[in-house]
Structure 1
Amino acid sequence: MTEIDESTPPYLRIVGELRRRIAAGELGPGDRLPSTRQIVREWRVAMATASRALTALRQENLVRALPGVGMVVTGPEPPPAVRGARADARRGTARGVTRDQVVRTATEIADAEGLPALSMRRIATELDVPTMSLYRQVRGKEQLLLLMADAAFATHRLPRTFPPGWRDQLELLCRLQWSMYRRHSWLAQVVSLTRPLMAPHAVAHTEWALRALAGHGLDQHTQLHLAAALANHVRGTAVNLEREAEAEQDTGLTDDEWMVAQADVLTGLLAAGEFPHLARLARSPVDLNVDSLFEFGLQRLLDGVAELLSR
């Protein structure tokens, strides 16, 4: 058995402990494993770490997903009487599932593990109901994503009163969107500018931008393109957030820690003298991250709007 110590990644520690329980008979064939949420509470890890541990056990064929039940230890099916009792229990639970519960559970999965982990089966497993019961509340994944996005916009409501001046109004809007993407990094993959979300709370953001730009002598073409350019800057920068989170989860290193680990590689690249400008920057590093990119780009875009209005 592989030795587990403090240097072992958290998900492997969880895998090791659950593997031990299975080998010791504490968890027998057909027994349900702790859910991702139970693992999060017991081991105090992120949801993505819990999911990764269960995936690793599944790849070892030690466990399997049983629709409507969850992850169970691999083994013979339970007797028909037990299966019938479980089905009756699930039918009873399914009647109480609401659309809000489905959307909230889907959002929690996407927040913790990203959109690739989201499926109707996974949601049903988390809610402990049959997968098909979810289709009473949502038509499919496309509608589900729309509802999730609208719910995310709804929780980041625009204020009822407008600050004075177009610049403050647009800056407030962009910062609100940035905080929303920060909270729900998957959202940047769902939002589209050429096929905008037909969701009331998302449309309200576009209306806010157009209102801020109205009455300053700009034609409608320019107003709409400026509103889209600002939204695209926020969303385009936010696209990096999910990849950043995945990289940190996979490597166990933050961006700063990763850069420190790459110091020797960077030194080797710059030693030949082919990149003098980068070498000069390396001697007094600049703090470049997604937040600084958002801030710098936002101010330059607003400077550009000011230049247009001054004409």
Structure 2
Amino acid sequence: MVEEAAPPYVRIVDDIKRRIADGELRAGDRVPSTRQLARDWDVALATAAKALARLAQLGVVVAEPRVGTVVAGTPGRSPRRQHGDPDEAGRDASHGPPHGPPHGPPHGPPHGPAHDPARDSGRDRGRDPVRDSGRDAARDLTRDRVVRTAIEMADAEGLPALSMRGVASRLGVATMSLYRHVGSKDDLVELMIDQVLGDFPLPAEPPDGWRTRLEVAARAQWAAYRRHPWMARVTSLARPLPSPSLLKHTEWALAAIDGHGLDPETMMHVHILMYTYVQGIAAHFESEVRARATTGLTDDEWMRAQDDQLTAIVTSGPYPTFVDVVARMGGDFDFDFDRLFEFGLRSLLDGLAGIIEKD
């Protein structure tokens, strides 16, 4: 029995294994999706995704192309498990699921495996459906599928949780199969960036005016960060990625301010300033996404939990202006990342006008 102190993803894993052991889920059946598990268990998407990834690592589920995540193993039988593979609660997986029957081995009925005519026929003798499924998945594998799957995992779990092994498990293939399509995890991340920015393209024909051009690029970047917060951890200012999509944004920004009499260094500074403004807001947005997934609290809920402590600090110190501003807002500041982004973008462009249009 799982202890109450077990992490949520462990309880999800054990519940899926119990349902398989009880026959509620059989080999080949689809298991609940990440979003469905998140709704059913009232957990973050990252928690649900971690549970599915762990089940895949244990060989309990596999990803079927064009189908989804299904219970592994021969239809009608429990999935195979590796001897001695410890599960999340510290038990030895060879002892069977925590809620399974107390007698008999975990790989079939107590008196031996069920009769399967297909496996006994000469035509199918020696076939392993799990292995064959993995081979089919490897044959269907493409670079686009690898990249799209990695993006989905990073969206759900965050970039630190992304690994080549995890992507392979989600796709139902051997880890080495990925290296026929991407050279390394770093290469994969670069491809992910290119794909994401490609989903938020710059216009084929640039609009008139430097200000409008910079504004269009900034909004495209913000939309990409908003949809894929993990990007804020990757696009370093001092160590830029060799990404064609990122270079397109650099070219766009420099072309927008070219011909205004700026020296090359100033042009680069203008571009970098615009880029880091968007990334800076996005980095705080990504931190909020991670905090919400970790704590389960929204920013408003977290602030309410700090009310007493903040009130004690404010009332005990010389902060008259802060107290006055908060009071004039009715005691409630409605923080919104999109409104902050728009305010900052407008202010930044107003400031740059004094440099770009100085003549």
| TM-score, normalised via structure 1 length | 0.82
1:206 matched to 2:250? The reply is yes
Correspondence for 2:84: none
| Identity, % of aligned positions | 43
Superposition deviation, residue 24 in structure 1 = 9.1
Aligned with residue 50 of structure 1, among 34, 42, 48? 48
Matched residues in 2 for 1:19 and 1:255: separation?
Answer: 31
The SS at the match of 1:136 is coil
Superposition deviation, residue 54 in structure 1 = 5.6
| CA distances 1:274-298 after superposition (whole Å, capped 9, x unpaired) | 3223222332244344334322322
The SS at the match of 2:340 is helix
Aligned pair in 2 of structure 1 residues 132, 264: CA closer, same or farther (>3 Å)? same
Correspondence for 1:182: 226
Aligned with residue 38 of structure 1, among 33, 39, 53? 33
Matched residues in 1 for 2:143 and 2:175: separation?
Answer: 14
Checking the alignment, whether the CA contact within 8 Å between 1:182 and 1:238 is kept in structure 2 is: yes
Superposition deviation, residue 167 in structure 1 = 0.9
Checking the alignment, whether the CA contact within 8 Å between 1:121 and 1:131 is kept in structure 2 is: yes
Matched residues in 1 for 2:12 and 2:256: separation?
Answer: 56
1:15 matched to 2:15? The reply is no
Aligned pair in 2 of structure 1 residues 270, 127: CA closer, same or farther (>3 Å)? same
Aligned pair in 2 of structure 1 residues 272, 215: CA closer, same or farther (>3 Å)? same
Aligned pair in 2 of structure 1 residues 272, 259: CA closer, same or farther (>3 Å)? same
Which runs of no fewer than 5 residues in structure 2 stay unpaired? 63-70, 72-78, 82-86, 88-92, 95-105, 108-112, 114-124
Checking the alignment, whether the CA contact within 8 Å between 2:168 and 2:175 is kept in structure 1 is: yes
Correspondence for 1:306: 353
The SS at the match of 1:110 is helix
Checking the alignment, whether the CA contact within 8 Å between 1:69 and 1:125 is kept in structure 2 is: no
Correspondence for 2:343: 296
Checking the alignment, whether the CA contact within 8 Å between 2:56 and 2:170 is kept in structure 1 is: no
Matched residues in 1 for 2:16 and 2:180: separation?
Answer: 40
1:65 matched to 2:60? The reply is no
Aligned pair in 2 of structure 1 residues 195, 68: CA closer, same or farther (>3 Å)? farther
Q: List aligned pairs for 1:166-177, cutoff 5 A.
A: 166-177=210-221
Checking the alignment, whether the CA contact within 8 Å between 2:137 and 2:172 is kept in structure 1 is: yes
Matched residues in 2 for 1:14 and 1:34: separation?
Answer: 19
More helix by share: 1
* Count of matched residue pairs: 296
Checking the alignment, whether the CA contact within 8 Å between 2:254 and 2:268 is kept in structure 1 is: yes
The SS at the match of 2:33 is helix
Aligned pair in 2 of structure 1 residues 130, 16: CA closer, same or farther (>3 Å)? closer
1:248 matched to 2:295? The reply is no
Q: Kindly report the root-mean-square deviation, in angstroms, between the aligned alpha carbons of the 2 structures.
A: 3.5
Matched residues in 1 for 2:20 and 2:182: separation?
Answer: 42
Correspondence for 2:102: none
Q: List aligned pairs for 1:4-153, cutoff 5 A.
A: 12=8, 15=11, 18-19=14-15, 22=18, 25-26=21-22, 38-41=33-36, 44=39, 47-53=45-51, 65-66=57-58, 70=62, 75-76=93-94, 85-153=129-197
Checking the alignment, whether the CA contact within 8 Å between 1:162 and 1:169 is kept in structure 2 is: yes
Aligned pair in 2 of structure 1 residues 31, 278: CA closer, same or farther (>3 Å)? farther
| TM-score, normalised via structure 2 length | 0.71
Matched residues in 1 for 2:19 and 2:133: separation?
Answer: 29
Superposition deviation, residue 17 in structure 1 = 8.9
Aligned pair in 2 of structure 1 residues 218, 291: CA closer, same or farther (>3 Å)? same
